[in-house]
Amino acid sequence: MSDNKKSIKDIFNLSFYVRLGVIVVVILLAVFLYCFGKQHTVYIDNRTTEIDGVSYRALDWAEVSIDGMDAAEYSPRTRREATVMRQKHTIHVIYEDEDFNQFEVEGEFSIPLNETRVVLSLPAFVAGLGEDKFITEFIPMAQLLGLSTGQESSAEEQITEEEMFGDITMDF
């Protein structure tokens, strides 16, 4: 009779360690790409906002740059988007108050790992509020108002093939 049992030396040979190494490298690469290669959309919002019962007025004029990208100018009630990679970012804001005095603010913020689109409130940022206050999840206006996004349609609205073309079985 032949012995079909494998010894420990047969299982943990060089090919086992090569396979294990490849699996570990693939897992590490996936984690790295998820954290550092994920693209985020940051909506920079210069609108009057109310946070915790305190109103923060929109800036009269501002120039904003994220991660050293080209600066964009903002007037009141302006919202622009910036597409960024990674979780941590730096923001540089130059703004004027109502007396035309210029101020410069620079800071860092990070985007939550599970978010792909966030809103950054400029008035809250320059007021010195915490990151949890000036960065919020982006919620589309249609969803806020409870409107349908057009993807859902009821059974009454669906048109059947027979209603569209008539009874085509008798045409042949």
> Does pTM surpass 0.75?
no
pLDDT, position 143: 73
Give the chain's mean pLDDT.
82
Residue 162, domain member (yes or no): no
d(CA 133, CA 126): 12
Residues 89, 61, single domain; the answer is yes
Of the pLDDT bands very low, low, confident and very high (cuts 50, 70, 90), residue 158 is low
d(CA 137, CA 120): 9
Residue 25, domain member (yes or no): yes
Residue 1, domain member (yes or no): no
Residues 50, 130, single domain; the answer is yes
pLDDT, position 18: 93
Whether the pLDDT of residue 172 is over 50: the answer is no
Residues 30, 69, single domain; the answer is no
Residues 76, 138, single domain; the answer is yes
Q: Which residue has the higher pLDDT, 161 or 85?
A: 85
pLDDT, position 155: 46
pLDDT, position 114: 81
Residues forming beta bridges with residue 108, ordered by sequence position: 90
Angle at 98 between CA 96 and CA 104, to 5 degrees: 20
Tell me how many domains the chain contains.
2
Residue 27, domain extent? 8-37
Of the pLDDT bands very low, low, confident and very high (cuts 50, 70, 90), residue 168 is low
Residue 98, domain member (yes or no): yes
Residues 30, 46, single domain; the answer is no
Contact status, residue 45 vs residue 121, Cβ threshold 8 Å:
yes
d(CA 131, CA 143): 24
User: Starting from the edge strand earliest in sequence, which strands make up the sheet with 78-85, in order?
Assistant: 78-85, 39-46, 117-121, 135-137
